[in-house]
Structure 1
């Protein structure tokens, strides 16, 4: 039995010898990361610098863009190092730090999308009472909760996993994953499994329930409302729904390839699918909201072109 104190590093098996192509992969991944940083940072600056955008909807968007930077930074620099490295290992403390960053990124993303749907629900269903229901103090509290609550709920499984006794150190993936660490345990994982189920409900089904409730209410108002109400709902809800579907799509890929045997799928495709929600979502959101919302689009143009 290998005691957890003797496991000093984890070996990542999702990498293979790409020869001279590793420099091409490095350039591609670096370009993606720079695109994510520049796109999200541009929109954060635009929202922060223009007082006309200091409204709840745009402040929630700003929080979303900050989370994209947070999540991608937890993955991309690590990937860049691994692509150029000949030895694909990661220390145990860094592995758990990466797990915390990536899992909390996913939780913050879901809860931010849920709060954004609640904001649209108030704006469409209660337009005359919107300013009294969505005050600046309430916005600040909601943004704080979308960050603090996920950080707390993700810290618990990380603590439980770090105390496990491990019988191996091989992770068949391109980055650290708590599910794979727990599978390496040779001690009892009942508590980990129970909390993992509870945590899944909190992170996924909690936000999705709120989103489903708000959109049912929005659809009812649109069905019985005026044409202007329906146009407002479509223009503000379309990018949100697209972002939600894209992120859910990526998370489904991650869950499927983690829980089921995917050995018949090419390794490169498995790496791409497992990191989809960490790569495509941070690119997709700035493009979707930047192109869809005319106010953001015009301010971006004035900032870039003067």
Structure 2
């Protein structure tokens, strides 16, 4: 028991027939990761290069897409190495670090979506006050807090987990997510409290705030003329689609810990992949297609590429 309670390496057993489909998995994951990098960085570069996109809304979109790249990078490099390895293992300290990156950047996504919702609320509901409220200083504060607050809050349960002994060395996942807690010999009340605190601050409260702001926008738009309604639909719909997509993935991540023993391995594998496969690609596609100005610059870029 003493040997088991001093586990230094964790086996990631969430893969389905990895020996049989190793190279197929690797090809798919590598291709998706390259697409994530290219798609997200293309739009970030467009926003950075064109002055007409140097507005708060586009700055927040660039920050969200950059966050998607960081979010993916916290998982993909290790995932690709594991697919080519005979054993899918990770050290305890590396697992904690991956856990920290994954959830702090996930929290940042919600806070960035909250900042975008507030920006749209001020733009549509208080247009005359918009220039004075959404200044460069305000934007900078929102961006710093969006990355700093989740990092500080997720660091607490990670630090509390660092000295906890593990009684199990097999994690039913393909990377270090919430299932990690099931490896501990005993549960930590302090860690559970901080976990709930972080969940409320980084997920529930931002989610409710976003719903409130978009409800207000919907009411104001309904009472206004057609142009205001059109503007609201064009700018708010992409944010809502991204919010719904990411919220569903977060709900699954929370539920999987409670239903671990009852959840089929193949279903768990497929659902876990959704968080790292389609969502980081979903963001640039949605904003590239639905945001008029970004779409315009993308068309010019591809037209120039064809001419060359």
TM-score, length-scaled by structure 1: 0.94
Match of 1:93 in 2: 93
Contact 2:40 2:65 in 1 (8 A): yes
Match of 1:276 in 2: 274
User: SS state of the match for residue 6, structure 1?
Assistant: coil
Contact 1:4 1:164 in 2 (8 A): no
Match of 1:297 in 2: 295
Task: String of CA shifts for 1:230-262, please: whole Å, max 9, x gaps.
Answer: 111111101011110111111122222222145
5+ residue gaps, structure 1 = none
Match of 1:14 in 2: 14
Q: Whole-Å Cα distance in 2 between the matches of residues 64 and 2 of structure 1?
A: 45
Q: Whole-Å Cα distance in 2 between the matches of residues 284 and 144 of structure 1?
A: 24
Match of 2:112 in 1: 112
Match of 1:145 in 2: 145
Q: Whole-Å Cα distance in 2 between the matches of residues 155 and 18 of structure 1?
A: 32
Q: Whole-Å Cα distance in 2 between the matches of residues 95 and 14 of structure 1?
A: 14
Q: 1:5 to 1:50 in 2, by over 3 A?
A: farther
Q: 1:21 to 1:187 in 2, by over 3 A?
A: closer
Q: Whole-Å Cα distance in 2 between the matches of residues 275 and 158 of structure 1?
A: 23
Match of 2:126 in 1: 126
Q: 1:170 to 1:20 in 2, by over 3 A?
A: closer
1:49 has 2:49 as partner: yes
1:257 has 2:253 as partner: no
Q: Whole-Å Cα distance in 2 between the matches of residues 184 and 8 of structure 1?
A: 12
Per-residue deviation, 1:169: 1.8
Per-residue deviation, 1:4: 9.2
Q: Whole-Å Cα distance in 2 between the matches of residues 15 and 161 of structure 1?
A: 25
1:206 has 2:208 as partner: no
Mapping for residues 192-203 of structure 1, pairs under 5 Å: 192-203=191-202
Per-residue deviation, 1:181: 2.9
Per-residue deviation, 1:270: 1.3
Task: String of CA shifts for 1:44-63, please: whole Å, max 9, x gaps.
Answer: 11111111111000000010
Q: Whole-Å Cα distance in 1 between the matches of residues 298 and 102 of structure 2?
A: 29
RMSD: 1.8
Task: String of CA shifts for 1:22-78, please: whole Å, max 9, x gaps.
Answer: 111111111111111100010111111111111000000010010000010111111
Per-residue deviation, 1:263: 4.2
User: SS state of the match for residue 10, structure 1?
Assistant: strand
Contact 2:256 2:263 in 1 (8 A): no
- How many aligned residue pairs are there? 304
User: SS state of the match for residue 85, structure 1?
Assistant: coil
Match of 1:154 in 2: 154
